[in-house]
Structure 1
Amino acid sequence: MSSLIDLHPMSRRAFLGGFAAATALITLHPFAVRANGNAAQAHLRLMETTDIHVNVMPYDYYADKPNDTMGIARTASIIDRIRAEAGNSMLVDNGDLLQGNPMGDYMAYKKGMKAGDLHPVIKAMNVLGYDCGTLGNHEFNYGLDFMFNTLGGANFPIVCANLTKGQLAASPKDDALHFKPYVIVEKMIKDGTGGQAPIKVGFIGFVPPQIMLWDAKNLEGKGQTRDIVEAARAWVPVMKEEGADLVIALSHSGIDGKGLSERMENASLYLAEVEGIDAIFTGHQHLVFPGPKDFVGIEGVDPVKGTLLGKPAVMAGFWGSHMGLIDLLIEKEGKGWRIVDFTCEARPIYHRDENRKVIADVTDKAEVVASVTEEHAATLDYVRTPVGKTSAPLYSYFALVADDPSVQIVSNAQTWYIKDMLKDGPYKDLPVLSAAAPFKAGGRGGADYFTDVAAGDIAIKNVADLYLYPNTMQAVAITGEQVRNWLEMSAGMFNQLKPGEKDQPLINSAFPSYNYDVIDGVTYQIDLSQPAKFDKDGKAVHPEANRIVNLMFDGKPIDPAQKFVVATNNYRAGGGGKFPEIAADKVVFVAPDTNRDVIVRYIIDKGEINPSADGNWSFAPMAGTTAIFESGPKGRQYAAAVKGAKIEEAGDGAEGFARFRLLL
């Protein structure tokens, strides 16, 4: 393989001058060097953004301050740099554009989108000149009309091969689809001599089939989803028949190595098995690939080289944190092109220095910032509007280890709402419980990713901070035994601890915090000497285990047969998180209101709220045992005041986190 070492006898300046004159390229990428002077080879750079979630600006609207870890206004600078380096480049987006921060909510709930309007994220993307995009699951959160009106303003095609308008046909190729399954972009590229040559690059898109559960309210009767791999096997041969030289999968689906299963949510690894697919852009999981931390040890996955079953693949983080890049050395084969070599990387927009401080690696692209100036200002006005007061701080620094005020206020509002909604119906005599989870609990979001609202005025930005997602309220009717198993599933958040041992790691990092439901209206303890009964997919891996102990309702042991109504959201009620026996057949009430709106109404109704946690759950004592967990350093001011848990500081953690010790 050629490399820059081969050029040692020639000075860099001499090489650049001769190379530029010969090829009109200005890059020293090894593939450009190898293709130099060869009309049968070319260097093509493919770039990806994914999971933008309306984060155009490097600004955290929840915290109401700038943030150097986010914003495609920053990612745009990397995109510009790549284009300047390369004679041939293409840019794609992998979905989850329209929801995820208050700007998205402002556009959906306050301003609205009419035909002909341009959404700010689409304005920004039009500035950057994308070649293609696909759908993410969050595109559906505000309804189909909003999605179609918004995406209709894009100056680039949107593709999705597994979203139908109605019931599935006998064959994927007979499905009536909401979007084109693929596009083939015909492009003139510069070959190694600087000459022009045509290439046809095909892009095919996929969305997780689970949107039919997560957004049933918006999709029922209006669409259906097909298995990702099944759709790919049907459409990729058609793309090749139509002359696609390269087929690139835009897969809003993550990487899971547990084996191919029907309607798999994270199917990108098995998408690589489909003959004819040349490269895969992935997303959805908010992780980074290739990279040193994520997806290590999965058969068929090379997290260093960035391959899935040997094929190039990238996952570019989230919120604009990274730009995914696949560099291809391509070679003419007959009338078409084939890949002869590749490299993959995810380029970040920031890094942390030796003191864990965030350092921006790029600046804003002025044209992107200018495109959303009006909406940015309107969003700031929107999120700063007061709706009431709180008599005590609302914070989530210890939401995973003790009953927590940020989760408590959500449960209070949900209970208040559902009791009112069901007061005259057939479920009026059933006791109402409430399930709520901490959404901002550090983890992948970083050391600042916590709710922290001071006592005093509460604004809309604070409510959005308490409840990140535009879920809608739902209620399920279940038994006491199902309540117990719901909590057993939630208790998978924690590692099993050995009694009497010191400073054991507490948190199971593979368990997402949004699946750690606290159920209010009952009291209980969690015995960490027991293994988790269920794995993260709801499978009973230790059926004999019982982490949930002393589960009481109304001061008495819960009756396994007693019926309860549990207030929750559409995600959980529809089967999201794979909690045992919690699915759409248990739903007894579907609200027209979002959980956020319910919280706002509750605060307005009360005027001033008291968010103090009621201490309805705790860990069972374990003599001589301590555990270590990480939280935000700002949590140190609250550690001594946490109810129902003994917490002490334990030094600094990694990547800006603080370490704490839980005394059991």
Structure 2
Amino acid sequence: MLLKKIAGAAVAASLLLGSPIGIGKTHAEESEHKLEIMATTEIHAHLMPYDYFRDAPDEQLGLAKTYTLVKQVREHNPNTLLFNTGDNLQGAIIGEHAAILRPLAEDEPNPIIAAMNEMNYDAVNIGNHEFDFGLDFMHRSFEDANFPIINANLYHADESGKPGENYFTPYVMLDRVIDGIPIKIGVLGVAPPGITIWHADKLAGKIVGEPVLDTVEKYLPKIKAEGADLIIVNLHGGKRLEDGKNATINDRGEHSLYFLAEKYKDDIDAIVFGHEQSIFPGDEDYDEVEGLDNKNGLIHGIPSVMGGFAGDHLGVIELKLVHNEGKWQVTGGSSRNVPVEETTEAAPEIVEAVKARHEQTIDYVRNSIGVSEVPLNHFFSRVQDSRATQLINLAQVWKGEQILSRTEYKDLPILSLAPPFRAGRSGPSEYTNIAPGPVSVSAIADLYMYANTLYIVKLNGRQVIDVLEQSAENFNQIDPSLTEEQELLSAEPPYNFDQVYGLRYQIDVTKPVGQRIIDPTYEGQPVTEQMEFAVVTNNHRASGGGNFPHMDGTNTIYASDDANRDALIEYVTEIGTIAAGEPGWQIVPVNTAGPVVFKSSPSGREAIQNAGLTNVSYVEERDGWGIYRYHFEDLLAQASAGSAQETEEAAASEPAEQAGAQAQADESHKTKSDTLLYALIGGGAVVAAAVAYLLFRRRANRKRQSLL
């Protein structure tokens, strides 16, 4: 437990909330006090208890409800602080509505800032998604903020591209009063320097990021020199905290929290953080990690809190303080997360502040743009190809065709790259699930939840395979000989499981990372390094998001301001009807001695029956998740049946018809493989690279004429 004395500051100051409450002792006598530090994290424009994706209320989230929890804490203790760790401007569609769909009027505040102004924040940090709509919109939004906005490791780029002046105010010194006694509190803001990579399309040459630990090292002495009695770090970060000492601090700085707390445990009194869209303390992933106390909310002894996602929790740190002879001393501390309940009231102040924009957003998402003949869901999009992911890719190919037809790259064959975005990152309820029938804008926003813009990169065949190899880290390595249960899916987030549309390929989950992509083909031809592709993706991925190979901005051939989601809306409007499709990838069938399982939404149980799936089955529910078994044996049986049928057909052919029969068998093999989740990869013949490349380009040109 943290125990530290630092010089106090006898500075006249305003009380944090209300009037000073005396404790009946002079300042020279020792007195005990309690300070509660509250934090909201990863709000992502979720202001109201409403899910615009589903066009339905969601009574367990929303900043309006979180504010009710804030007021409850303040009612019981006048000694409080309130912080926010960033990622506020983007997420729920109301954020995009204010930024793009119906831009803010000249005198209209951003509804997100208007809501936060009601809450009296003491300081707000910057998150990576603050930049999603560009610098101009971010600045326009912050103009109306009545709270300090802090960040210490983002700088104006000078003429040489080096760090110049701080882009934001690096830290604030809060003069507050605790039970009538003045206290000076230093609050330092830091964020992943990878922001400048993920948003290189908007920030290159304008903002430079510096490492988190170096920044803390730089500013701690300054904060101490200004007489801070307490030091709080407000960090947008904390990913892979569960890895503990095994994590690696990369140049993007997302994994720095564990090492930050370890290095400065004698200098920092409290940490509020967010980026992982989870809770600390409380998430079982943080159990039994060296240096973490997941019950009391301590990281290397420092009271720390991460308050969930979308306003579903309020993080609260409780510090025990002693004031003696003009000095403040921290004698202990812990943290907790207070959940938003269905019965939690939405604060009327915020409801009123965002009412007009909320109603406009609901009207927008209810517009119908097409009809789907098939369900579109992501329950199993991490274990098999799905129409939901394909639809995103089809729209991107369609848009890419239009764009490149006017450029020097018009003859390049086009592929598309997209992941299942809403596939359980934030919990078992966060899955896209669109029923057959009319398709609204809200459904499209559910499929593509981020305000990314469309980018196109040029990659050769080898580079595309490298991208797929990293994507295949979605899976754990399976040992077929083990009889005990094995988990199929890794801890990689679903939005990093990019699937390539336009290729056929298999993923061998028994192989180690980097060796899993099997038999990749384009139009029946093996993918080679000599092939060149135009790959449609988004600005985040093309500029380095996810740290994929060859996706660092250097291979970008087209950068657009048009949103991927808008392309998806245009595409569905154009085709009118979304029909069933054929899968382009699958897991290689293999015999396993024991069960192989994965987590998904319990709602996926109904989808199995509705879709007639046989390669997955429901097992049970664990901690709110549905547990499913993946049946490799089913794929093996289907593959075997398909091969046997083809053999019988070939044997029955007359010798004089062998040539024609062989061609029909080849086509039959391809069709059956597609139907059986592509259980056998067709077109496996090896031909000379030069011949393959010529055929590849010729077929690419033919395919361009008949995309659908």
2:521 aligns to what SS in structure 1?
A: strand
Q: Residues of 2 paired with 1:267 and 1:624: CA distance?
A: 38
How far did residue 529 of structure 1 move?
A: 2.0
Residue 657 of structure 1 corresponds to 625
Contact 1:523 1:617 in 2 (8 A): yes
1:430 maps onto 2:412 in alignment? yes
1:232-286 per-position Cα deviation (integer Å, ceiling 9, x unaligned): 2222211221222111111001154425454522322233324633211110111
Amino acid at match of 2:575: K
255, 261, 265: which one aligns with 2:254: 265
1:304 maps onto 2:295 in alignment? yes
Q: Residues of 1 paired with 2:267 and 2:159: CA distance?
A: 24
1:303-344 per-position Cα deviation (integer Å, ceiling 9, x unaligned): 233222222211111111111111112223654423121111
Contact 1:282 1:314 in 2 (8 A): yes
1:151 maps onto 2:142 in alignment? yes
How far did residue 424 of structure 1 move?
A: 3.3
Q: Residues of 2 paired with 1:150 and 1:292: CA distance?
A: 33
Contact 2:602 2:621 in 1 (8 A): no
1:417 maps onto 2:386 in alignment? no
1:344 maps onto 2:335 in alignment? yes
How far did residue 366 of structure 1 move?
A: 2.4
TM-aligned CA distance change 1:35 to 1:496, over 3 Å: farther
Amino acid at match of 2:275: H
Residue 622 of structure 1 corresponds to 590
Q: Residues of 1 paired with 2:331 and 2:159: CA distance?
A: 38
Tell which deviates more after alignment, 612-621 or 504-513.
Answer: 504-513
TM-score by length of 2: 0.80
Contact 1:475 1:569 in 2 (8 A): yes
Residue 33 of structure 2 corresponds to 42
Contact 1:287 1:294 in 2 (8 A): no
1:78-106 per-position Cα deviation (integer Å, ceiling 9, x unaligned): 21121111131111111111101111111
How far did residue 624 of structure 1 move?
A: 5.5
Contact 2:162 2:208 in 1 (8 A): no
2:570 aligns to what SS in structure 1?
A: helix
Amino acid at match of 2:402: D
1:236 maps onto 2:225 in alignment? no
Residue 209 of structure 1 corresponds to 193
1:647 maps onto 2:629 in alignment? no
Alignment of 1:337-486 (within 5 A): 337-350=328-341, 360=342, 362-442=344-424, 444-486=425-467
Give the gaps of 5 or more residues in structure 2.
Answer: 2-19, 633-708
Q: Residues of 2 paired with 1:662 and 1:503: CA distance?
A: 14
How far did residue 50 of structure 1 move?
A: 0.8
506, 511, 519: which one aligns with 2:500: 519
How far did residue 137 of structure 1 move?
A: 0.6
185, 189, 205: which one aligns with 2:174: 185
Residue 526 of structure 2 corresponds to 557
1:178-213 per-position Cα deviation (integer Å, ceiling 9, x unaligned): 2211111111220xxxxx111111111112111112
Residue 121 of structure 1 corresponds to 112
Q: Residues of 1 paired with 2:182 and 2:28: CA distance?
A: 17
TM-aligned CA distance change 1:436 to 1:171, over 3 Å: closer
TM-aligned CA distance change 1:662 to 1:187, over 3 Å: same
Alignment of 1:562-641 (within 5 A): 562-610=531-579, 612-623=580-591, 626-640=595-609
Amino acid at match of 2:543: G
Amino acid at match of 1:647: N
Tell which deviates more after alignment, 251-260 or 138-147.
Answer: 251-260
Contact 2:29 2:325 in 1 (8 A): no
Contact 1:215 1:570 in 2 (8 A): yes
Residue 327 of structure 1 corresponds to 318
Q: Residues of 2 paired with 1:599 and 1:503: CA distance?
A: 43
TM-aligned CA distance change 1:324 to 1:81, over 3 Å: same
How far did residue 640 of structure 1 move?
A: 4.6
Cα RMSD, aligned residues only? 2.7
Contact 1:280 1:314 in 2 (8 A): yes
Amino acid at match of 1:316: G
2:554 aligns to what SS in structure 1?
A: helix
Contact 1:160 1:182 in 2 (8 A): yes
How far did residue 24 of structure 1 move?
A: 5.5
Amino acid at match of 1:73: A
Contact 2:30 2:325 in 1 (8 A): no
Q: Residues of 2 paired with 1:35 and 1:94: CA distance?
A: 36
TM-aligned CA distance change 1:34 to 1:69, over 3 Å: farther
Q: Residues of 1 paired with 2:307 and 2:25: CA distance?
A: 27
1:382 aligns to what SS in structure 2?
A: helix
Tell which deviates more after alignment, 371-380 or 600-609.
Answer: 600-609
Q: Residues of 1 paired with 2:161 and 2:557: CA distance?
A: 33
Identity of aligned residues (%): 35
Amino acid at match of 1:507: L
How far did residue 637 of structure 1 move?
A: 3.3
Q: Residues of 2 paired with 1:489 and 1:551: CA distance?
A: 15
Q: Residues of 2 paired with 1:422 and 1:66: CA distance?
A: 41
Residue 307 of structure 2 corresponds to 316
How far did residue 108 of structure 1 move?
A: 0.8
Residue 223 of structure 1 corresponds to 207
Contact 2:507 2:588 in 1 (8 A): yes
1:153-182 per-position Cα deviation (integer Å, ceiling 9, x unaligned): 12211111112122399997xx41222111
Q: Residues of 2 paired with 1:33 and 1:469: CA distance?
A: 54
2:165 aligns to what SS in structure 1?
A: coil
Residue 232 of structure 2 corresponds to 248
Which of structures 1 and 2 has the bigger CA Rg?
A: 2
Tell which deviates more after alignment, 411-420 or 219-228.
Answer: 219-228
How far did residue 107 of structure 1 move?
A: 0.8
Contact 1:384 1:459 in 2 (8 A): yes
99, 107, 112: which one aligns with 2:98: 107
How far did residue 292 of structure 1 move?
A: 4.8
TM-aligned CA distance change 1:579 to 1:450, over 3 Å: same
Q: Residues of 1 paired with 2:527 and 2:603: CA distance?
A: 38
1:435-476 per-position Cα deviation (integer Å, ceiling 9, x unaligned): 11001112x433332212233322211111010101111111
TM-aligned CA distance change 1:648 to 1:222, over 3 Å: closer
269, 276, 279: which one aligns with 1:288: 279
Contact 1:639 1:647 in 2 (8 A): no
TM-aligned CA distance change 1:34 to 1:293, over 3 Å: farther
Contact 2:44 2:90 in 1 (8 A): yes
Amino acid at match of 1:650: Y
Contact 2:596 2:629 in 1 (8 A): yes
Amino acid at match of 1:294: D
Q: Residues of 2 paired with 1:405 and 1:35: CA distance?
A: 71
TM-score by length of 1: 0.86
**How many residue pairs end up in the alignment?**
606
Amino acid at match of 1:278: D
2:258 aligns to what SS in structure 1?
A: helix
TM-aligned CA distance change 1:242 to 1:253, over 3 Å: same
1:584 aligns to what SS in structure 2?
A: coil
Q: Residues of 2 paired with 1:576 and 1:369: CA distance?
A: 35
Give the gaps of 5 or more residues in structure 1.
Answer: 2-22, 26-31, 191-195, 351-359, 534-545
TM-aligned CA distance change 1:209 to 1:497, over 3 Å: same
TM-aligned CA distance change 1:270 to 1:141, over 3 Å: same
Contact 2:304 2:334 in 1 (8 A): no
Q: Residues of 2 paired with 1:298 and 1:33: CA distance?
A: 43
Contact 1:436 1:568 in 2 (8 A): yes
Q: Residues of 1 paired with 2:108 and 2:228: CA distance?
A: 34
Tell which deviates more after alignment, 133-142 or 496-505.
Answer: 496-505
